[in-house]
C-alpha cells in the first residue's frame, strides 16, 4: 500500500479531512515530543508544546501555503514555540539563569557523557547539530529553518561535529580506560524512534 505524503495529507486536512490531521499527528507526535524533550527539563512542558505545535497547525491551516515541506513547517512552529518558552523561563527564573537543560534520569554513562559534551557547545552549534543528528533534517531544511545559506549550514555542521568529537575524545591520561569511539556513542544515541526520550 502506498503511503500518502505529508503534503497530500495537509491538503486533505485543509479540505476538511479529520483523518488526514490524525495521520499527521500520528506521524509527528513522537518526533516533535522528542524535539522539545531533548531541549527542556520538563516532560509535561514537552508534551504541552508538542500539542501547541499541532494547535498552531489547526489555527493556521487555512493560511498554509506549500512553500516548504510539511516537516519543515512543523519544526519551524516548534522552534518558535521553543524560543518563546526559553524567553519565559529566563524571565521567570530567579537570577535569569537558563533552566532548559534536560533533567538527568537513570541514563547510561554514554547518554550522560554525550549530554555533557553537547552542553559544552555554543547554543547555535548545539542546535544545528541536534537538528541534523536527532531530528534528521536535511541540510536544505536546516538552512530554511535557521535562515542560513546551505553552505553555511554545511560548514557549521562540520565545525560542530569536530568540536563535539573533541569533547568526546577519550582522556589520554595514563592508566585510564579508553572511552567508546564517537561512532559507537552516536549509534547508541540515535533518537529517531517515536518515544523521543531525553538525551
Residue 107 binned pLDDT confidence (cut-offs 50, 70, 90): low
Distance CA 6, CA 101 (A): 31
For 53, what's the count of Cα atoms within 13 Å in the CB-facing half-sphere? 32
HSE-up (13 A, CA, CB side) for residue 69:
14
Burial of 162 (0-12, 13-18, 19+ CB in 10 A): exposed
Q: Name the DSSP letter for residue 84.
A: H
Q: For 65-102, how does the pLDDT look when each residue is reduced to its tens digit (9 = 90+)?
A: 878 889 999 999 999 999 999 898 888 777 645 544 55
**Would you state the torsion angle of the CA atoms of residues 8, 12, 17, 20, taken in this order, to the nearest 10 degrees?**
10
Which pTM value belongs to this model? 0.75
For residues 19-29, average pLDDT = 96
Domain with CATH 1.10.10.10 in the chain: 109-189
CATH 1.10.1740.10 in the chain, residue ranges: 6-92
The region, left, alpha or beta by phi > 0 then psi within -120 to 50, assigned to residue 175 is left
Q: Which residue has the cell 479531512?
A: 17
All cell numbers assigned to 155? 560548514
Please give the CATH topology (third level) of the domain spanning 109-189: Arc Repressor Mutant, subunit A (1.10.10)
Question: What does the buried/exposed string (b/e) look like for 78-99 if buried means 16 or more CB atoms within 10 Å of the residue's CB?
Answer: bbebbeebbeebeeeeeeeeee
Tell which residue, 98, 102, 120, has the closest CA to residue 168: 120
Indicate the fold that domain 6-92 takes in CATH.
Rna Polymerase Sigma Factor; Chain: A (1.10.1740)
Percent of the chain predicted with pLDDT > 70: 77
**How distant is the alpha carbon of residue 130 from its chain centre?**
6
**Cβ atoms within 10 Å of 192's Cβ, excluding its own:** 12
Amino acid at each position: 500500500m502506498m503511503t500518502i505524503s505529508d503534503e497530500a495529507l495537509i491538503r486533505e486536512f485543509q479540505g476538511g479531512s479529520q483523518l488526514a490531521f490524525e495521520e499527521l499527528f500520528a506521524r509527528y507526535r513522537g518526533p516533535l515530543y522528542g524535539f522539545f524533550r531533548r531541549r527542556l527539563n520538563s516532560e509535561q512542558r514537552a508534551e504541552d508544546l508538542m500539542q501547541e505545535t499541532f494547535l498552531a497547525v489547526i489555527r493556521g491551516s487555512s493560511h498554509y501555503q506549500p512553500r516548504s515541506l510539511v516537516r519543515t513547517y512543523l519544526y519551524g512552529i516548534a522552534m518558535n514555540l521553543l524560543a518563546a518558552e526559553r524567553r519565559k523561563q529566563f524571565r521567570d527564573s530567579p537570577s535569569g539563569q537558563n533552566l532548559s537543560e534536560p533533567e538527568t534520569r537513570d541514563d547510561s554513562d554514554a547518554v550522560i557523557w554525550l549530554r555533557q559534551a553537547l552542553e559544552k557547545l555554543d547554543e547555535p552549534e548545539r542546535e544545528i547539530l541536534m537538528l541534523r543528528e536527532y531530528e534528521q533534517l536535511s541540510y536544505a531544511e536546516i538552512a530554511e529553518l535557521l535562515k542560513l545559506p546551505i553552505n553555511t549550514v554545511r560548514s557549521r555542521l562540520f565545525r560542530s561535529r569536530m568540536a563535539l568529537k573533541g569533547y568526546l575524545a577519550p582522556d589520554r591520561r595514563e592508566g585510564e580506560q579508553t572511552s567508546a569511539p564517537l561512532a559507537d556513542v552516536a549509534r547508541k544515541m540515535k533518537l529517531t524512534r517515536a518515544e523521543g526520550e531525553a538525551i
